Structure 1
Amino acid sequence: MMTIPVHVPVLLQEVLDNLLLPPAARILDLTLGLGGHAEALLARADADSRYLGVDRDPEARALAAKRLGSDDRLSILACAYEDLWEDPQFLAWKAAQAPEGFDAILADLGVSTLQLRTPERGFSFRDEGPLDMRMDPDHGLSARDWIAEQTDESLADAIYQYGEERASRPIARAILRALQEGRLETTHDLAKAVYTVIPREPAKRKGHSDPATRTFQAIRIAVNGELDRLSASLEAAVSHLRPGGRLAVISFHSLEDRIVKQTLRRLAGIYDGPGRTAPVQLPKILKLIHAGGIAPSEAEAAANPPSRSARLRVAERIS
């Protein structure tokens, strides 16, 4: 029997407060995960509403189906949200169920707790597992195979860009040296390579992350192409909102949040590029809700530590 892991949806009340569901709502969940947000939103929605949950991870889809499968308002689609907008199954579902667009679209970005806590998926150095990190384990290169295709320069650039790691160059050299010497097969091997550059303190000080955290984040983002089409996907999502419909996006690190913030501001007619004092006319198709974003309450951050870095941004389509 498949056991559904304990899952605490991040910023759940804030999502419920900001995604306004009219009668017969049409809801698109770009990152269904274990279905925590979906369960709560479906509890708010009426009997004529329809909910489309999208996820690239087959294990997450199976667990969400077990959790929510008895609800005939729910459909689940196997797809990465970046590829959704031209997917024939999505287009067919939308034509049949939401021809005028969606009332609410939710994206809970980043890696899930399920993925982090499953050693076999290779996302975390807490428990040893194969160096994989793919959100869809049936497609694309594993982290080890991706690393094997990198040069010192390209790996360092990825670690610096996606992990904001200042020691990216010596870390990249240490990782590739471990690979060449046959010492890079598991998550612990990757962490050990990082520790040769930035030693791990025997007792990590409170508030200080493990030295391997930034490198793991960077390689995971690169392997899954998490930021490659994020802005374009948000623009596509907005194009599928009906007027008055809202988009809610939860990000978990500064790189994601910066892209989300800049994209939504641009679609709200706010120019964030160089030379801001120059007169620039941009189309305004969104209204920002809580322009600075919403962070978890102190109570949520204390009760659910993975939520501490989360930020929710919400925008409403106005045209």
Structure 2
Amino acid sequence: MMTIQPPTHVPVLLQEVLDNLVLPPGARVLDLTLGLGGHAEALLGRCDKAASYLGVDRDPEARYLARRRLGDDGRLEILAGNYEDIWTDPQFLAWTGTHAPGGFDAILADLGVSTLQLRTPERGFSFRDEGPLDMRMDTNSGPTALEWIAEQTDESLADAIYQFGEERASRPIARAILRAHGEGRLATTRDLAQAVYTVIPREPAKRKGQSDPATRTFQAIRIAVNGELDRLAAALEAAVSHLRPGGRLAVISFHSLEDRIVKQTLRRLAGTYDGPGRVAPAPLPKILKLIHPGGIAPSEAEAAANPPSRSARLRVAERLP
């Protein structure tokens, strides 16, 4: 376990989450991405003493710090896992069977990378500070980013950078990264960023709102290493199946790839066909009602006060009877 001080954590779209999740007496709440517990702290503050709150996170350091933050609240249980696989976990099934046999009143999924992960150089998520090329959300399993890169070809790496980072220069960037690896010049986050800069030079002073040229590549490799989008749609469908009638699902995404999957999945479950230029073969089953169909973006004040929130979007849906 790393010995670090918990960073200042500002939960994104907090008021909007509180405004849109319904918490009746004895509420049953599922937090699929507990993180450092910012949303959980606020939601528990809105719940009565009879409520039950289940927080799930794959990151052992996040679970540890969330427990420190939230204390020994008897309403709270924290499980190791991720939103894709938790549905068949024996501990999850046992907890829901006891505490939420009829489903949940509120389910929250905050899909962003946590402040902890971004600001801990040893985790390798950011090139702001030098650290090893790790990028795993669960540091106890799976290949590191460096190990994953070592297994790629020019084509497979370029495809991942294009698909998950929407980076137009994916092919020359992939060649530059693998060239650096082959020459023994790829060990840290800054090494990876420097490989990108050989293709897209970094300007001495960025304009306001302009991202670093390495941002898209880092995002793409992180998504690939953690399989973040592999089963997101299926996980959302599983979450909806665990909602009580009238219960609500709230999902916060941070980039267009995530948001597109969330939007299309919720629209499909709301009976809205989302295939442009095509005709739906038959009416789709309608089990959800969309709340704020266009999603909710941060206010100008929040975006200014908390820059990581700028790209966030909250989508909310309610389970129909």
TM-score (norm 2): 0.98
SS class of match (2:290): strand
Pairs aligned (count): 319
TM-score (norm 1): 0.98
Q: Which residue of 2 aligns with 1:53?
A: 55
Moved more, 241-250 or 108-117: 108-117
SS class of match (2:176): helix
Q: Which residue of 1 aligns with 2:269?
A: 267
Cα distance between partner residues in 2 of 1:233 and 1:29: 13
Cα distance between partner residues in 1 of 2:281 and 2:82: 38
Q: 1:74-102: CA deviations, max 9, x gaps?
A: 00000111110000000000000000000
Cα distance between partner residues in 2 of 1:150 and 1:80: 25
Is the CA contact (8 Å cut-off) linking 2:273 and 2:280 kept in structure 1?
no
Match of 1:307 among 289, 306, 309: 309
Q: Equivalent residues in 2 for 1:208-219 (5 A)?
A: 208-219=210-221
Cα distance between partner residues in 2 of 1:278 and 1:106: 30
Q: Which residue of 1 aligns with 2:174?
A: 172
Counterpart residue type for residue 112 of structure 1:
S
Unaligned stretches of 5+ residues in structure 1: none
- The reply on whether 1:207 has 2:218 as its aligned counterpart is no
**Are the structure 2 counterparts of residues 171 and 2 from structure 1 closer, same or farther at C-alpha, using a change threshold of 3 Å?**
closer
Q: Which residue of 2 aligns with 1:72?
A: 74
Counterpart residue type for residue 263 of structure 1:
T
Match of 1:111 among 110, 113, 118: 113
Structure 1 residue 2, shift from structure 2 partner? 6.5
Counterpart residue type for residue 183 of structure 2:
E
Percentage identity across paired residues of the two chains = 84
Q: Kindly report the root-mean-square deviation, in angstroms, between the aligned alpha carbons of the 2 structures.
A: 1.0
Match of 1:235 among 229, 234, 237: 237
Structure 1 residue 113, shift from structure 2 partner? 1.0
Is the CA contact (8 Å cut-off) linking 1:266 and 1:282 kept in structure 2?
yes
Moved more, 146-155 or 272-281: 272-281
Structure 1 residue 237, shift from structure 2 partner? 0.2
Counterpart residue type for residue 27 of structure 1:
V
Structure 1 residue 277, shift from structure 2 partner? 4.1
Q: Which residue of 1 aligns with 2:15?
A: 13
Q: Which residue of 1 aligns with 2:104?
A: 102
Cα distance between partner residues in 1 of 2:134 and 2:6: 23
Q: Which residue of 2 aligns with 1:257?
A: 259
Is the CA contact (8 Å cut-off) linking 2:137 and 2:226 kept in structure 1?
yes
Q: 1:83-129: CA deviations, max 9, x gaps?
A: 10000000000000000000000000021111000000000000000
Counterpart residue type for residue 10 of structure 2:
V
Q: 1:151-209: CA deviations, max 9, x gaps?
A: 00000000000000000000000000000000000000000000000000111122211
Structure 1 residue 69, shift from structure 2 partner? 2.4
Moved more, 37-46 or 270-279: 270-279
Moved more, 205-214 or 236-245: 205-214
